[in-house]
Chain A
Amino acid sequence: MINFSDPNFLPWLIPVGPLLAFVIIVLLTNRSRLVPATDRHEYGGHHPEYNGMLVPVVSPSSRVLSIVVGMSGAVAAWLMSWKVVFDALAVGTGTFGKSVFGSSVEWMALGDRPFTMGVLIDPLTIPLLFMVPLAVLMIFIYSIGYMAHDPRQARFFALISLFAGAMLTLVVADNLLLLFVGWEVMGLCSFMLIGFWFEKHSAYKAAVKAFTTTRVADVIMLLGIVYLYSQTGTLSFREILYNQEVLAQLAGTPALLFGGLGISASGLIGMFLIIGTVGKSAQFPLHVWLPDAMEGPTPVSAMIHAAAMVSAGVYAVIRMYPLFEAGGHPHAGEFTSPLLLMTFVGGFTALFAATIAIAQNDVKKVLAYSTISQLGFMVAALGIGAYIAATFHLITHAFFKALLFMASGSVIHAMEHGEHHVHEHGHGDHGHHGDHDEDYPVAPASIGGGRMELAYEAHDGHGHGHHHDEHGADHGEFDDVGGIGDEHGSHHPHDAHAHTQAHDHHFDPQDMMNMGGLKDRIPVTFITFVIGGLSLAGFPLITAGFWSKDEILADAWLGLTEGFGPQIFVFFILALAAFLTAFYTARQLCLTFLGEPRTEEAKHAGLGGPRSVISITMQLPLVILAVFALFAGFVGVPPDFPIFGALFSPEVNPFFEFVKYSLLVEIQPPKPPFSVWPVLTSFAVALGGLALGYWMYGRKPLTAGQPDPMIKILGPLYNVLKNKYYFDELYTIVFIRPSQAIARVTSDFIDRGIIDGILHFIARAANFIGDLLKVFNLWLIDGVGDGIPQGLGKLGERLKFLQTGRIQQYLLLIAVFALLIGLIFAAVSVGIAGN
């Protein structure tokens, strides 16, 4: 009997709670009742009215039960994870790492060496096991309020439970295959959750886009996995990554492909795996899916961007780091190809995404780009060998980004509340709305009419049930890999959106230009949002974000003083990105919370009173996460940092010293000594960016109708940033359209045209020969006189019906065909035999 209180076996149970919750909700607590779709209370918000057709809506008992089941799973996972964390801490720094927790079973019988599947808890797992279940739990609590009125709320809880289960599976996996299982299941969940409001055009499009974009990377990652597996005969982390011999062998073998370019097996495997992360963690050039993923309900955004999916991508590269590093030594200036790939992709992404973020008006999109940028920080850090700093930033980022997403969800909810209020109380004055369109100078005339809807849609992100008409309107222009968009609108006689045409007014509760002055309406959200924002901006000393970002810069500085190119690149590009981060954070905070409300809706925004369920469940997680966003950084303060070092790490940097033992001693990164320059840089960029942002947006907050000052400053560049450097458009032209065309060519031209064409041609030829023989017979029998004219006449007649499917004729044709093939092959073979 396995003793599950033993930390070697307990990890098996960690993902079980949420997974079981998923199964239970799907099978048992997902009962629904039929309600007319016109019932705005039960089926309102994100759904069309369907002429009052009866639609299934989750029943009240199922609603409650699925919350209970989902929460139980999350709590169970949290308790078990933390028990494992404390068990590991009890083993002690340094000791834990040489010894680890884990167990495995035979999973696949393959020849003489079976594939084993198991769990592993090592020092790198510990911070994730601390962070992930906590963030998940907060997200679950938050979802209770956020999804309280959704007609498919039980399904939502089932899916986020599966998501959490998959993430925890990935974290406790002891091999790359199990990691990949969790990785892909999360991909499915993100697809399902981004497209949760699946009736909405923008939502399902975003879902397909997310899944497809990440799948591009995943199939390449799969190659990395099979390559690693065939090279080493195992996928176990411990056997490969904690084994100098295997690593040296991998680094010493030339790669199967591109081996001539001096790339080693570990180099090629590494690059394949990194590409997987480029997709999952939305790095350039596969970043395009993540901003669109904002179509999902806000807790999903938090889940995807903080606790789970994108963290999983970075976790995977951190986990596989020894493989990337094999054959090189970044702290001695020796870089392998995977490390360089990470350095440049990460560094470039960090800056690239930050520039886009400064020109976004959607409160969630700013955060989305900021996420891409921050993930770039981590990837770049790992590229220069700052293993611990990357891990540290992963953890702190998860806390403050989860906080920011949920706080922005709270803002959106409050705005929607304000909107309902306005609608119900007949504040009909939306005159100033027309003016607002000036704020969206997004549709340059040169691109044409189709762009106009797109631009609108970008703002309509969250969607509010009023714009289902997009479905018919902008089909084709942007229609994604779903591939049937073009036909869909035009061949669709029964479209369901006539009823929505009545709403000519689009109010976007996510547009920061519609907000302003919210600090008095939702004070708790305001304070926590500010905390999260400051942490993101790396506000010195008192926020977690500062400590982790500073550690990256410190590590880069170490290499910079030695004159290593990648470190120089990383230091400056990240410093610049950090400056922009602070700037757009200040811009976001000012636009959202300061000044006077710029719309009637913002004036009435709120969460329904301080003691409502929604208010409590949506704000409690913010408060808890705010604590971590401030204080989580203190576990990683360098001991030689003035004052704070003495305060929090009198002897050693606890985080650094603990986590580094997940690596072999030979490749553990050196602790960068304290240097004043990177710290000053951190101070300067954070404070400078915040100050500039405040100076532009906070000193004199925008008033209703006033255009964004950025438009004037940046000029034409503004539109480029606003439109994300037109990458969506580019990909549509370069990838999506051609692949749709190839698909049509394959099925219509190659299969039906060429292959079937040849077959039909042979069928006709055989028919012809058959008929000719018949005619010949007739001619012999009937005599020459009347035979020829008759026969010719019949032949002509028969030629018209060549395509009749008479079996004997087809048989004949196949015989001829087979004979031909046989002859060709015989000739070929004789040729071979002759050699």
Chain B
Amino acid sequence: MTLDVFGFNPLTVLIFAPALGALLVLGVASLIPSKWIARWLSLGISVGIGVLATLVFFAYNREVPGYQMVTLGQWFPTIGSSWHLGIDGISAAMILLTGLLVPLAILISWEIEDRPAVHLALILFFQTGLMGVFVAVDLLIFFLFYELSLVPIYFLIKEWGGKNRQYASTKFFIYSIGGTLGMLLATQLIGLTAGTFDIEALTTFWPAFNPEGGLFLGADIQTVKALAFIGFLVAFCIKVPVWPFHTWLPDAHSEAPTAGSMLLAGVMLKLGAYGFIRLVVPLFPDVWVAEVSLLGIQATWAGVFAFLAMLGIVLGAFAAFGQNDIKRLVAYSSVNHMGFVAMGIAVMAAVYGEMYVNGLANNMQDAIIATNGAVMQMFNHGLSSAGMFLLAGAIYHKTHTRDMREYGGLWVKAPIYGGVFIFTSMASLGLPGLNGFVGEFLVVRGAWPVFTALTVISMIGLLFTGSYILKGIRAVLQGPFNLHWQDYDLEIERREFIAIAPLLVLMLITGLFPNWILPVINDTVTRIFASLG
């Protein structure tokens, strides 16, 4: 079976179809100024892309090593960059997530009355950027789409955001662009040195690169590698976000329109984590386990990263617990949950580095489990954070306040909303039996033998995950009904319910039977480690 669409590689289509779709939406909207046409058209396009993404996921053969559905074309031959696309199990899962969430975000954006066509087109443009990152096998292409994805979401926040949108969008944009400056330099350095930007080629070339005399560009090669590493590290730390690079997130997420928040939390944060797994771990195995001395404490970079991950888990949970703004609470929950992703990556990096440098494979199974957990957590956080933002947006849309102290007892009048809210909250909390638990369990399991003490401290974060989730439930649903909302219709709308239903189903299925997706991830992860052993 081939998935080519009109003779084009499906991955190429996944990149360009959203952008072309966006242009189509804009074009049609300028001819026929009907918001309903723009709405249905953009929904149709995104559903089509979602179907294609799903087909790609299921057509991916997990047992075949290497990238699949590869397309390799000329792009920038002078500097050795090529149009090289392909997917492995990890990107397949991310493509599925992106393909799934965008139509739901578009459906939620139907509530936008202000320039609806532009809003919807921007979401589709955004999808182009996201898809591009996940399917790129060329470092420059990766970087291109990584930066490209910022633009549409910046405008979504700036134009359709809440009261504080100017500050939030500017902070978000500067933070992200600024963070990638180092990465740009590092990309150039690595690519030009190797004469190619092909990620496959670079992962063998760059870690082994050791010019004669150990000097490169007049400096020690280890220093150059460490600097390049830091360039990538800062960029992706900001995106994940890893504590303390996270302060753009609560502002951006809470000020963004609902669809923007859904995609920001649901997919965009995963770009950073994906970057770590795809680039930083394979390119710098030796740097991860190199000793660094910070404030007099000797540690490895992986250890430092695990420490920051732990801080993200714990302080993210505490910060979420301290919020009274429902969207800020959900936003901080992302810091908390992505902390587990970072922890899984830290384990992966530590063990991968050890294996690369010393050939020690005794923690390999732990690292495989932790990496599986990190990717599962990426997928699961995509589902539950999108769901939570959808629900927060739904209640905000009706009450026009995000202050939870003004809610109270809404369950009385909105029983279905209440049930969905609790279900999604529990998925977010990591209730066993729902999706969130699988990733967290695997990460904790993998991290325990490698970073034992940090894992123990992370449990405080897990405890307070419960506290802030219950705080949300309690403030929104429980208590006596606040009679201020007596004449409001607070129940979840049919459209909102349709948008969240697929998420609910996937949360349950993934929780009960994670093996529908896990083998795809596991085979790739196992191969990554096996390639060293």
Contacts and interface: CB of A to CB of B under 8 A. Distances in A.
Nearest to B482: A494
21 contacts: A32-B415, A110-B442, A111-B365, A111-B372, A184-B432, A195-B478, A199-B412, A199-B479, A233-B365, A492-B408, A739-B321, A743-B319, A747-B320, A751-B246, A755-B247, A805-B166, A807-B173, A811-B174, A811-B178, A818-B178, A822-B182
B333 to A, nearest CB: 12
B19 interface: no
A212 B177 contact: no
Contact of B291 (A53, A207, A491, A832): A832
Interface in B440-485: 441-442, 444-445, 448-449, 452-453, 455-456, 459, 462-464, 466-467, 470-471, 474-475, 477-484
A830 B226 CA distance: 9
Contacts of B332: 747
A366 B292 CA distance: 59
A229 interface: yes
Given A53-B483, A226-B448, A484-B471, A829 B222 contact: yes
Interface string A112-136: 1100000000000000000000000
B227 A495 contact: no
Interface string B486-510: 1000000000000000000000000
Interface string A737-752: 0011011111110111
Contacts of B394: none
Contact of A50 (B177, B247, B318, B486): B486
5 closest Cβ contacts across the A-B interface? A814-B178, A743-B322, A494-B484, A829-B226, A111-B368
A807 to B, nearest CB: 7
A26 interface: yes
Contacts of B58: none
B463 A219 contact: yes
Contact of B322 (A110, A481, A747): A747
Contacts of B518: 108-110
A756 interface: yes
A829 B481 contact: no
B438 A223 contact: no
Given A230-B366, A822-B227, A107 B514 contact: yes
A536 to B, nearest CB: 33
Contact of A747 (B182, B230, B231, B318): B318
A213 to B, nearest CB: 10
A198 B182 CA distance: 52
B519 interface: yes
A257 B470 contact: no
A177 interface: yes
A185 interface: yes
Given A110-B442, A756-B247, A739 B467 contact: yes
A227 interface: yes
Given A184-B433, A756-B247, A199 B478 contact: yes
Interface string B172-196: 0111011101100000000000000
B433 A185 contact: yes
Interface string A220-250: 1011001101100100000000000000000
Interface size class of A (residues with CB under 8 A): 35 or more
Interface string B393-406: 00000000000111
Interface string A197-223: 011010010011001100110011011
A739 B166 CA distance: 33
A684 interface: no
A180 interface: yes
Contacts of A487: 324, 405
A799 interface: no
B357 to A, nearest CB: 14
Interface in A735-776: 739-740, 742-748, 750-752, 755-756, 759
B281 interface: no
B453 A199 contact: no
B459 A483 contact: no
Contacts of B293: 828, 831-832
Contacts of B526: 111-112
Nearest to A191: B470
A815 interface: yes
Contacts of B170: 805, 807, 810
A505 interface: no
Contact of B448 (A216, A227, A482, A829): A227
Contacts of B47: none
Given A50-B483, A107-B514, A226-B441, A481 B470 contact: yes
Contact of A192 (B231, B292, B422, B449): B422
Contacts, number: 275
A825 B230 contact: yes
Given A211-B466, A256-B449, A747-B322, A818 B181 contact: yes
A692 interface: no
B431 A184 contact: yes
Contacts of B369: 110-111
A350 to B, nearest CB: 27
Nearest to A471: B480
Contacts of B515: 106-109
A821 interface: yes
B117 interface: no
A806 to B, nearest CB: 9
B65 interface: no
A745 B230 CA distance: 30
B431 to A, nearest CB: 6
A484 B452 contact: no
Given A755-B244, A755-B247, A818-B178, A222 B479 contact: no
A688 interface: no
A785 interface: no
B409 interface: yes
A216 to B, nearest CB: 6
A795 interface: no
A215 B466 contact: yes
A739 B466 CA distance: 13
A332 interface: no
A51 B483 contact: yes
B99 interface: no
Contacts of A744: 322
A471 B441 CA distance: 38
Nearest to B469: A211
A520 to B, nearest CB: 38
B411 interface: yes
Nearest to B455: A223
A112 B365 contact: yes
A292 to B, nearest CB: 14
Interface string B369-383: 100100000000000
Contacts of B453: 257
Contacts of A751: 246-247, 250, 319
A194 B366 CA distance: 39
A492 B482 contact: yes
